Amino acid sequence: MKDNYRWLTPVYELLSSLVFGQTLKQSKTCYLSNIRNKHLLIIGGGTGSDYQSVQRDMKGDFVEVSVSMLRKAEKNLESSELNFHLGEIPLGKTYDLILLPFVLDTLIDEELEELLMKIRAVSKQGALIYLSDFFPQKNRRNKLLQSLMIRFFRAFTKHPRKDLPDYKEFLEKAGFRLLKEKTWSEDWVRAQLWQKA
């Protein structure tokens, strides 16, 4: 599996903080206050640095498609009880909480639909999906920045997606219902909790 993030991994967190400050970290962690007794699945967790403050309460599986990101996550979350996997969701396990931090916006519709059906299959009844991501914008400045970001990631990490998906449509189709959300940057960045219906 080719690592399209290899060159980006060393500077990823710096770039993120320069552009967004603490906003992305806040969106990834605002619903993690009560995870101690939950079996987690984290998909696309990057370097894992945003979860360092709660890592001692984390147990389950961490899945990442980038070898370089995964290696960094193993170091950053070495005090957790997470198992680290390259590429695929492990078979034969079920989860209470699935974290999707800024990963769905990288997938084309068919891949997104397939991933959500896999997630549904490994979710316990009543399980939660914690989605944090960028949402379509009306604000002109954010819309321009969003377009530049999509082009950047398409060019340098080979993301195939050219726009942002309609998360609500895909999640509802997969059998999840929205419980609550928090927003930042004029609703551009959102954190949402969805539950398996």
pLDDT in tens, 3-48: 556 655 555 665 666 667 789 999 999 999 889 889 999 999 999 9
Please tell me the distance from the alpha carbon of residue 36 to that of residue 39, in angstroms, as a whole number.
9
The answer, yes or no, to whether residue 108 has pLDDT greater than 90, is: yes
Q: Is 0.85 surpassed by the pTM of this model?
A: yes
Task: Give residue 145's pLDDT.
Answer: 73
pLDDT in tens, 145-183: 777 776 766 666 666 777 889 999 999 999 999 999 999
73 CB-contact burial (10 Å; exposed 0-12 / middle 13-18 / buried 19+): buried
Phi, psi of 4 (to 5 degrees): -75, -5
CA distances from residue 155 to 51, 94, 159, 181 in whole angstroms, order as listed: 28, 36, 8, 31
Better pLDDT: 92 or 17: 92
The answer, yes or no, to whether residue 1 has pLDDT greater than 60, is: no
Residues in CB range of 20: below 8 A, 6 or more apart: 185, 189
